[in-house]
Chain A
């Protein structure tokens, strides 16, 4: 039996302890904003926040998450969109959009650690998130815009 907090709600899980958090979120809780892309922490589509910091939910087994505080894309916008989501819309970042929840969660994590990131900071942190449509240049602008707005 595992206790975990997801988007502020206390949850109990007693299934296969090897199940990655990703599939718990998607299949058990129905929180499908967190995406499946590779299952090997290579693409970042499954990025969520663990105590505010970005992690790859496909690598986090349910047996190891006791007491953690998990935030998914569904819970970052409370009163209107999060500044990162707002910037994403203003720059019109998404094409297909599938990787964007993961990109946004990674960007939220980056900005909370480094509110004014350099281009190098952005490249270093965001290069773990693949976008096959190729929206990288807009992602970089959107992060800068979000940084400016929250400064």
Chain B
């Protein structure tokens, strides 16, 4: 809501600024600054004649407002304000997170206004990736709500002069005196509650799940009406008084530098003000700008047109020798050689030496670009020692840090306002584009908006890694694997932060590679080295994509070799219900909270088979179904894809069935959306997703040569089934993606007999 974005925070926090120790240090008193700042969206909204409801909201917050924590404020008229401190990029956090708090508060959701939190370490991590939002903040948000509720109850008890035990927060948004049947509204109680001490955590009484009002109940997106009416919510929409526009000519090859520049034609373009060089980065590139020449203009088009007219000679540097076709062969070659051992069970080498049936296969998956619909964009306003940044960012604290570093300022002097993100998928947790805006604002003395074109976005991404995988299994007479070897080789994400990094990090290995959920007595996973020549980053579900593609395709190949039904065989591979020793899987300490439970993985597979009519549905020529299972971000997923392939190799996907077990689900509607979307995202990467490079420069540039699924390519019907669970909440944004590619490729094998071992499908005669 516009109004939510524009509440003047210095009024918002009022007396409670002086309060200390909210939520026992989870939220420190300094966090109050989170709400302070300029209000760009209001400014632009006012200019285009939007109603000024925001101004009213500001005026309505009086000095008696009650703030039991950073996350929530209650005004004497009963209006409740809840902070969403994570980034909204279609993941639904502005709905799901505040509803968790509102539930424990017993607040009326229709009276809740969601306020977007600025970047501030006091919130804890705001880096909205890794499918963290609900699982990391579920408990904290519940405690914040319960704290506020308890203070309101105590306020009522005090006012009536009765014991606290006689008061309940019921009906919604009020406290009732059980004996006298009288009640007070939250608004009435807010001024009194504001004066009470914050209760200790041990005093809180969290609600039982059966009493939840909102958690686990489907709710539509909080911002749907605003989004559908074209309100200025996104980073691309930010307008600040006196703002200049910038487009940047980046070096076409990573590490390139400007050799010579002729900007005479550029300076003749109507609206162009000047050009400004941006220094090349010092390795490792990390989140530093790529360097190049910025064209400063008084509108976006002039900046783009001016950039087109630049004559730049580049010194492309060492990466100019990078050609993705030759590189692919190198990776494949490495994948055939022994690599660094990641995890071993039993003695696979001895087993391979015995007389089992050996099956081997190689898989390959290319680089991918994120291609969020809103390209990277940021506005920065440097005023002396202070900077204000408005950015669609997944990581506002990262923006603060990187901008401060680049400008030689203190992190706390950088304010980062988080706008809506027109998609993120991992790209927007890298703040290089915000740093560009800050550098240019510093140099021009004006607020500057840096806008990346689609070509910039695709050519200068932090790419999802290219990977080559080799798998080998030895089967017994019943077709079961007695030994299994898997080796993956890819330039690691670590190369972005350490120029010498060539081996995968623990995180990448934990993504479906160090262990597999199959009952194989002798197992070894390995990783080979690879040097990066482009920026490597994380993309929705990261290394799970290529690892699940290889493992789940190979499982299907083994089923074929054993002459078994792929689903039955998958259950055989999964084996009996048990807890898998995951080694390094997941962040430290989470093994206990999130054990790898094979029973849950089996259950989603069984349910997916049932819901998709596996084995019962009859298919004609060129049609069939495929299944894959994968656990990532602690969520268990099984996907069945139905496919139709015509004589020309055109692939159609009439139906997808996805079953997931993500533990407790905060908002099933948002989770459904994420998994529906994951099937489309999976379709894009499987059918056409491929980034290649020639002489160090990326070949693709826009949606004609980097195609993503359109309505007529996308699965026609995606059915999502959510397993009811009392396990702790797990991830939702990413886990739908990994099983999709193997499920689709397994379906294509069932339909055509043709095995896809290299993505995308367009490399295999399909389209």
Contact = CB atoms under 8 A, between A and B. Distances in A.
A42 B472 CA distance: 43
B341 interface: no
Interface in B296-312: 299-302, 304-305
Nearest to B92: A95
B454 A89 contact: no
A117 to B, nearest CB: 12
B224 to A, nearest CB: 5
Nearest to A142: B228
Interface residues of A, number: 61
Contacts of A39: 304, 453-454, 702
Nearest to A61: B301
A148 interface: no
A92 B676 CA distance: 13
Contact of A74 (B230, B421, B715): B230
A18 B304 CA distance: 12
A96 B373 contact: yes
B711 A122 contact: yes
B72 interface: no
B334 to A, nearest CB: 32
B447 to A, nearest CB: 14
Contacts of B44: 30, 32
A43 B703 contact: yes
Given A27-B300, A32-B44, A96-B423, A131 B230 contact: no
B280 interface: no
A130 B681 contact: no
B677 A97 contact: no
A26 B303 CA distance: 14
Contact of B423 (A18, A28, A133): A133
B460 interface: no
Dominant SS at the A interface? Answer: loop
Interface in A86-129: 88-89, 92-101, 104, 122-124, 126-129
B679 A134 contact: yes
B702 A38 contact: yes
A92 B373 contact: no
B237 interface: yes
B530 interface: no
B474 to A, nearest CB: 40
Contacts of A29: 48
Contacts of A127: 710-713
Interface in A5-38: 15-16, 18-20, 23, 26-38
A2 B239 CA distance: 25
Contacts of B278: none
Given A39-B453, A40-B702, A94-B228, A134 B681 contact: yes
Interface in B205-258: 220-221, 223-225, 227-234, 236-237, 239, 245
Given A94-B224, A98-B374, A81 B229 contact: yes
Given A74-B229, A81-B228, A36 B678 contact: no
Nearest to A33: B230
Contacts of B420: 96-98
B680 A134 contact: yes
A139 B716 CA distance: 11
B270 A136 contact: no
B236 A137 contact: no
Interface string B346-377: 00000000000000000000000001111100
Contact of A138 (B239, B372, B373, B676): B676
A97 B223 contact: yes
A133 B234 CA distance: 15
A135 B672 CA distance: 11
Contacts of A133: 90, 373, 423, 673, 677, 680
A125 to B, nearest CB: 9
Given A92-B224, A95-B92, A35 B422 contact: yes
B376 to A, nearest CB: 12
A4 B302 CA distance: 21
A130 B708 contact: yes
21 contacts: A18-B301, A18-B305, A20-B301, A23-B301, A35-B234, A36-B451, A37-B374, A39-B454, A43-B454, A81-B228, A94-B90, A98-B372, A98-B420, A129-B710, A129-B711, A133-B373, A134-B677, A135-B673, A135-B676, A136-B680, A138-B673
Contact of B710 (A73, A130, A140): A130
Given A16-B271, A20-B301, A88-B228, 14 more contacts: A23-B300, A32-B48, A35-B373, A38-B454, A38-B703, A81-B228, A89-B220, A89-B225, A94-B224, A126-B711, A132-B373, A134-B676, A134-B709, A138-B673
Contacts of B228: 81, 85, 88-89, 93-94, 97, 100-101, 104
A47 B299 CA distance: 20
